[in-house]
Structure 1
Amino acid sequence: MSQHRHPGAPSRAGAVPALPDLPEATVARLPEYLRALHHLAETGHETVSSEGLATAAGVNSAKLRKDLSHLGSYGTRGVGYDVALLIEQIESVLGLTQRRAVALVGVGNLGHALAGYAGFASRSFRIAALFDADPARVGEEINGLVVRHIDELPRIAVEEQLAIGVIATPAGAAQAVADQLVAVGVTSILNFAPCVLAVPDGVDVRKVDLAIELQILSFHEHRKASLTALPGTGPSTLTTLAGGAPTTDPQEAIGT
């Protein structure tokens, strides 16, 4: 995935300079920090230590301090980080100081759920338009929005100033939808379809594949089960050493 950065003016004194050149892994963790910070603010915390924020975000404190140093935020010794200021810094870097209009294409079961998700609005995103190619779905109202036919995308893109496209279609339709989004000037796409999209340079795609995530978890379950089974391996499953004697050494049993 490509990243495109443009220079900008810094915000108020003490805040992060606009758009620092951040490592991709840091960018991926910033939303987690922001979520944790918002929770801290809602529960009345004005400051937080690096250890406390790292625990809330699920990372180690050294990694968090390095990530935040990219923003020009180092905290205060003995006090920690100013929660409100850090929220402002991260939101500025993530471009969340303006509400971005989102087009959702595909209003099947997943699309319905996404269209009704209240969390988008609280994070500076506005579902501005819903699209589908199925005449049976066109005209349906979901969460106050009427589903439009995908052929209306060029007009709605201009009217709503669409910034981001979300694809929740079957895999077979996803590439055509991506092409249509790119054609109307959308350069950021969130793809829920189980396929890889081909897009021009300058278009950023984030892929969310729930089946892949489950397969990764399956690997970890398989690995944990294998590790748990080793100490309790019975004689019937042990590798037999030369001479017929079963080994009780796990390293020998697995051939290492």
Structure 2
Amino acid sequence: MPLNIPLRNALKAGKRASGAWLTLPSTAIARTLASTPGMSWVLIDGEHGQITDSQYYDLSNAIASAGASPIIRIPADEAWMIKRALDSGAHGIMVPLANSPELVRRVVAAAKYPPAGIRGFGPMFTHAAGALGGAYKASANEDVVVAVQIEHPDAVRDIEEIVAEGIDVAFIGPFDLSVSMGVQFGGEEHEAAIQRILDATHAAGKIAAIFCLDGSQAAKRFEQGFDMVSVSTDIDTLIASFADHAAKAGGVSVDAKPSYST
């Protein structure tokens, strides 16, 4: 019996997969984001967010109970981090700085049970995925989503080889990509790299995804052909919304632009 993975179900049905970005370790916020109409996934940010692996289980269950897929971004390409994330019931993992085919190959192996990979058996807390033990293992290799982030010129150079590996999703980190390339965000070189990644990912039959800060950016990327995008983060929405209301209430102009946007 397949695992219950809303994100994979949406993508298989050819639907656009909108998602939210969770940086705060709050099950209330996690469930609220997951309950927002149109969300098929919520990214639990264990890299830059204020979230540790001790919170993965509760956050994954809060998100899954609202009908969305919890995807955990781990801090680095470490096999034990992948195992901890997936054993908490996450519907998938995202690994940053996937800069070479060799690294991606190791990530895929760490996310798969033998003989396809090296993942150790211990799915005792995978409630969020809808199965435990042997029932979980029976379809985990096929159902769990493996996403890697493309955010460096080395990854752009080797993108055809990277997407040929056993990943499901190539997820562009556009801000890190522009910084690592040393080019203007949204400029000609930056957008050309993004288009190359998109084309190569689709040519390999994989899912093309990208980080967006707001609905306008997300709509643009969907129109461009991306299959999966974020629509905002919890902290950016809080900052922007509170700043807007504070400005209206007190007549004070507040710059709520995230520090990492351009």
Bigger Rg, which one = 1
Question: Fold match, TM over 0.5?
Answer: no
Taking structure 1 as the reference length, the TM-score comes to 0.36
Structure (1 or 2) with the greater helix fraction: 2
Taking structure 2 as the reference length, the TM-score comes to 0.35
Using CA pairs under 8 Å that are at least 6 residues apart, name the structure with larger relative contact order, 1 or 2: 2
